Chains A and B, each alone.
Chain A
Amino acid sequence: MIYEICNFLFPLSDIFSFCRLVNYISFRAIMSAFTAVLFIFLFSRRFILFVHRNCFLDQVRETGVHSAFDKRGTPTMGGLLIIGAVLVSMVLWGNWQNAFMLCSLAGMLWFGLLGLWDDLSKVRMKSGDKGLSERLKLILQGVFSLIFAWICVGPYAPLGSAMATKICIPFYKYPLVDIGPYFYGLFIFLFVIFISNAVNITDGLDGLAITPSIFVVAVLGIFAYVEGNRIYSSYLYYPFLRGAGELTIFGAAFVGAGLGFLWYNAYPAQIFMGDTGSLAIGGTMAVICVLLKQELLFPLLGGLFVAEAITSQVQDKIGVKWIGRRIFYRAPLHHNLQHKGIAETKVVIRLWIVAGLLALLSLATLKLR
């Protein structure tokens, strides 16, 4: 909104010349981040109280790890705060004609609503293990992924038809490879589903999901800035994506919201993000990755999420359900570390460090190839 108003104002008179600032991505990015943080600081206490009064509290679940105390009764659905902060920030500072931004926002909202439904049904069933059925969840995730994959490779691709079906390979000098619309579409479809669930699985300890997500989105924001800038992108041999810079602003809003959320979510947590938050974050990250052509970087950039998802699935689907033995002591990864006698806080901080290092390494691919 502010973006539109200022763009309308500054040609009118010299008095409004400061309004020119909104044309700088860096300015809008910083402002949107602050807006998001401010939003969370203003509303989270009221929100926590609201959630508590309506008994939208975390339910018992079976993790297999003996926790010092159970976390039952902590207000959940904090993801609504994150979504709200990003939304308000984008309403104020976003350019609503930008397809990149709209796609990311749509992803966030779709997955957020799906997670909200799951959270609400968990509260209604009074159990942390019985929300929406796994199948229904997958179908709803699949619906979005399918539409999104079609948008990406179809006639309305935000990247333009020349770039639409190309994939970018990290650490490689001439990174763009065309793999055809069907194969790439299928890849996007699976990628989005996988990432959104990976974050959902990671969200098991206080602050564990949010900080690595901040790292990931921040790095992606920097990539967006580079790829959206004709000079930087040509300097760094990156594909130039017109309008991708808007994702920097989106990413900044997200980082701001994440920091604000961490304020309350840090151990011991006063609020959980719930599936509302984890699915929304996962969906957003997946969509941004696809839009910036950084899908193949994700296993490195979001290595923590990938490791969590793989350990969990291998343990459950192969170990417990099929061959009848544990493959890891416990799964996912963070429960395994807890089982080895590492306190929750220590596990979380160690995994933050790992996620931070991975993010730095991924950032290095800007130059390293």
Chain B
Amino acid sequence: MVSAGADFLNRNENKNVQTALIITGVLFLVFITGLLAAKRWRGIGGGHTRIVLSGGGTGGHVNPALAIAEAIRGRDPEARFLYIGVRNRAESIIVKRAGYSLRFVASEGFPGFRISFRLLRFLFVVSIGVAQSIIMLCLFAPKRVIATGGYVSAPVIAAALILKKLRIASVQIFLHEQNSIPGQLNALMGRWVDKVLLTFPQTLSFFPKNGAVVGYPIRHSIVPIPPEKARENLQFKIPPDRSVVFAFGGSQGARSINRAVVDALPFLLQHRDRLFLIHGIGLASMSEYDAEADTEARIEKTLSAEEKQLLDGFYYRQDYFHNIAEVYSVCTLVACRSGAGSLNEISRIGKPALLIPKANLPGDHQVMNARAMKSAGAAELLYEDTIMEEGQILEKLDGRVLAEKIILLLDNAERLKSMSESSRHFLKRRASERILNELYGETRFSDSDNNSTPFKELTSNSGLLQTLSAAYNSMGRQFDPLSVVGDPDDLDYYRHRAAGLLSHKGWEDRNLGVKLIGLTRYTEKIPTLLKMLADRTPVNRASKLFGGDYQQVGFIRRNIVQALRVLDYFDPEVERGLFAALSDGYFEVRAQACITAAHFGRFIESDSKWLDALMNRMADPCFEVVIEAAKAVGEVGVDEEAAGALLAIKEAHYWQVRNAALHGLKRMIDRGALEASPALLAEVSAFILTSTDFKPHFTIKETFTVLQDRCAASRSKNYDLRLPAGKAAGKLK
């Protein structure tokens, strides 16, 4: 027994020694390899400059990397490049064609910090990617690593950082950020790299220590080409005397734009004698969206056979244009996403743009870009909707709207001309030179011409709600969201953003969306609201147990009815929805329906259906509803019957109900529906006038208020979206 125990101990000890030996051995090997790698790294230093480029996923990340490579090559023709990307993404096509040597690593998009299966998979994939990158970097031994973002570059930067911190690599790491709001990985990694090269000055606040504003580098090939020459070079023929519209959604393509372009075809076909449409559908070929197949199917579905025949000589589509400068040069108008890349290219060629910013991006940066270009007079905007289709949240753009906007712009030649002119001056040039300065640590020119105008900031949904509802409460019927927001384009964007909330899964978001649609007066969405109001999809069993009823929860239905009032729009559809809401299962909906009915009193005045329904509500078990119903009867009632109903509740238990009845009678007299007579007085006198509530007067507070008003008489109310109330007040001081 004892010996067995000792034996076991012995064996265990042996095992431990073995493990320790193996670990030491591996560490020693790693150390030696590291030393050798470090030596090799330094030894190579004398020869040509070796540079690793990385970044991709979309053309927006790949093209700036290539532009930087071109700039470096211009200065140092002997430089050797290695491009590290991810298989089957934009870089595998674009980079190969540009003639750089290309290697692939494993990587994946960052799913967010929430613990999930995707996060685990992400960590696994990225650690493999980091290992691959370490090997590649050690073999290539670059002097500089330049990453242009996208999740592709994450493992490369991580690997370079590790090698650098371990003092194996003497490498400089640069990061180029194309957006005004940095991506999650860039924001994280940016802290440790040598320099973060920025496109927008606003982004400096994210990288106060190592940020440098350089702009967006554009490839040499993107230069204006004389249209005649460009037409010859294109592999398709454009008939003469046609306005050419180039619509595309970035290198990967955008579902909403592709579908909208196809939907717009029937409308644009009417103008086929003066129009030619070039459609860049993008490279995306993933399971969730395959640009080529989806577009094909949609054309099949949308267009009739004869319309399809007409497409020849009017419409041309291709997945990606490697000669995009030629396409730009021949076109009259560009319709595209407002990523920094597209905007810079368009500005370089000097073309007017119809921008369709991608919705639901962090910090709304495409919207910011688009607004900047629009305020420079170089672009028009179209916002896409966020809708729920087949259980999926999608962005959607109406094809008809797109077609109308294109035709409207093409009809106005003068405007197009001024837009091209503004477009040419929209963005600063020489980004490549600035980048070279940063890369080689030189200062060839001062930063004096770095004064791009800061964007006007957008308000968050909740901030917007606060501002608008404050304005609505103080202005009442004169309320106009445009005067509060200021810019019609901003209001348009806010409306689309609010509408996008309606298809969210969490009811709180939908509720916010409903409120905002009301307050921004987005009348086009009334049918959607009415549909939601009538939606009777039940909730799950657990919430049913506690009194939940439908997916569109009580608050949403209440706020829809309220929004209908704020929207101040009445038609038979609204009337039907409101009438149904009068008998909703939730008391606040019924009460709000009564208030809204009173609001639209002038439309339903002599409608006996409404009067009967409202009088029914006066017998509601919930006193809140009774109060509002009595007030509404005062607005709607025209005959003795209504007055009788109001007089009948003279002995109601709640004083507010009795008060509402008296209020209703007063309104009927005001409207001339009831005659103020001694007989009426006799009946009214029978009301119980005692009350369980009263309003106290605090004399000292009243005196103080008078004095306060005197002192603040000069202060006027103004709603400034950019400043919270506190700040605005401070400014006035």
Report, as a range, how many residues of chain B touch the other chain: 20 to 34
The stretch from A90-98, A139-147, A321-329 touching chain B is A321-329
Give per-residue flags for B488-514: 1 if the beta carbon is below 8 A from chain A beta carbons, else 0.
000000000000000000011001000
Look across to chain A and name the residue whose beta carbon is closest to the beta carbon of B692.
Answer: A342
Min CB distance A327 to B, Å, is 6
Q: In whole angstroms, what is the CA distance A9 to B696 when docked?
A: 57
Cα separation A208 to B507 with both chains bound (whole Å) = 36
B108: interface (CB < 8 Å): no
**Is B588 on the interface with A (CB-CB < 8 A)?**
yes
Least Cβ–Cβ distance between B628 and chain A, in angstroms: 14
The count of A-to-B residue pairs whose CB atoms sit within 8 angstroms is 58
Which chain B residues in 529-564 approach chain A with CB under 8 Å? 539, 543, 546-549, 553-556
Contact of A324 among B548, B624, B701 (CB under 8 A): B548
Is B295 an interface position by the 8 A CB rule? no
B696 and A268 contacting across the interface, CB-CB below 8 Å: yes
Q: Which residues of B lie under 8 Å from residue A318 when comparing CB positions?
A: 546-547
Asked if A69 and B696 sit within 8 Å, CB to CB, the answer is yes
Total interface residues on A, CB under 8 Å, equals 18
Most buried by B among A322, A325, A329, A340: A325
Residues of B within 8 A of A340 (CB): 623, 654
- B221 interface residue per 8 A CB criterion: no
Q: Interface readout for A335-347 with B: 1 if CB under 8 Å, 0 if not?
A: 0000011110010
Q: From residue B234, how far is it (CB to closest CB) to chain A in Å?
A: 57
User: Is B288's beta carbon under 8 Å from chain A?
Assistant: no
Complex: how many Å from CA A346 to CA B691? 11
Query: Does A68 sit at the interface, judged by CB under 8 A?
Result: yes
For window 286-325 of A, CB contacts with B under 8 Å fall at 318-320, 322-325
- Cα–Cα, bound, A319→B553 (Å): 10
Task: Check B547 against A323 for contact (C-beta < 8 Å).
Answer: yes
> A325 contacts B623, CB within 8 Å?
no
Q: Are A325 and B548 in contact (CB under 8 A)?
A: yes
* Closest chain A CB from B579 CB (angstroms): 21
A340 CA to B121 CA, complexed, in Å = 56
Q: Hey, which chain B residues are within 8 Å of A343, CB to CB?
A: 692-694
Q: Tell me the bound Cα distance from A325 to B550 in angstroms.
A: 11
CB < 8 Å: which of A323, A327, A329, A346 contacts B624? A329
Contact residues in A for B655 (Cβ distance below 8 Å)? 341
Asked if B654 and A323 make an inter-chain contact with CB atoms under 8 angstroms apart, the answer reads: no
Task: Please measure, in the bound complex, the distance between the C-alpha atom of A320 and the C-alpha atom of B507, giving whole angstroms.
Answer: 11
Cα separation A112 to B623 with both chains bound (whole Å): 41
Instruction: Decide: B553 and A323 in contact? CB cutoff 8 A.
Output: yes
Set of chain B residues within 8 Å of A327, measured between Cβ atoms: 546-547
Residues of B within 8 A of A322 (CB): 543, 546, 548
With both beta carbons as reference points, the residue of chain A lying nearest to B586 in the complex is identified as: A325
How far, in angstroms, from A268 to B699 measured CA to CA in the complex? 13
Chain A residue nearest to B555 (CB atoms) is A324
Taking CB atoms, residues of chain B closer than 8 Å to A325 are 547-549, 553-555, 586, 588
Say whether, besides A323-B546, A323-B547, A68 and B656 are in contact (CB < 8 Å): no
Known: A268-B698, A323-B547. A341 touches B586 (CB 8 A): no
B555 proximity list for chain A (CB < 8 A): 320, 324-325
Which residues of A lie under 8 Å from residue B507 when comparing CB positions? 324
B717 at the interface (CB under 8 A from A): no
Establish whether residues A68 and B695, one from each chain, have CB atoms under 8 Å apart when the complex forms: yes
Q: Is the CB of B543 within 8 A of A69?
A: no
The complex places the Cα of A69 from the Cα of B698 at a distance, in Å, of: 9
Report the separation of the CA atoms of residues A320 and B554 in the bound assembly, to the nearest whole angstrom. 10
State the CA gap A322–B586 with chains docked (Å).
16
Q: Which residues of the partner chain A approach B586 to less than 8 Å between Cβ atoms?
A: 325
Residues of A with C-beta under 8 A to B547: 318-319, 323, 325, 327
Contacts of B508 in A (CB 8 A): 324
Report A-chain residues with C-beta under 8 Å of the C-beta of B556.
324
List of B residues within 8 angstroms of A346 by Cβ: 692-693
Check B554 against A324 for contact (C-beta < 8 Å): yes
A312 to chain B, nearest CB (A): 16
With both chains docked as a complex, state the minimum distance between the C-beta of A334 and any C-beta of chain B, in angstroms. Answer: 14
Q: Which residues of A contact B693 (CB under 8 A)?
A: 341-343, 346
Residue of B nearest to A337 (CB): B692
Contacts of B624 in A (CB 8 A): 329
CB within 8 Å of A: which B207-221 residues: none
Known: A322-B548, A323-B546, A341-B655. 9 other contacts (CB 8 A): A69-B701, A319-B547, A323-B553, A325-B553, A325-B588, A327-B546, A341-B654, A342-B693, A346-B693
14 contacts between A and B (CB under 8 A): A69-B696, A69-B701, A268-B696, A319-B547, A322-B543, A323-B554, A324-B507, A324-B511, A325-B547, A325-B554, A329-B624, A340-B623, A340-B654, A341-B691
Mark A residues whose CB is within 8 Å of B: 68-69, 268, 318-320, 322-327, 329, 340-343, 346
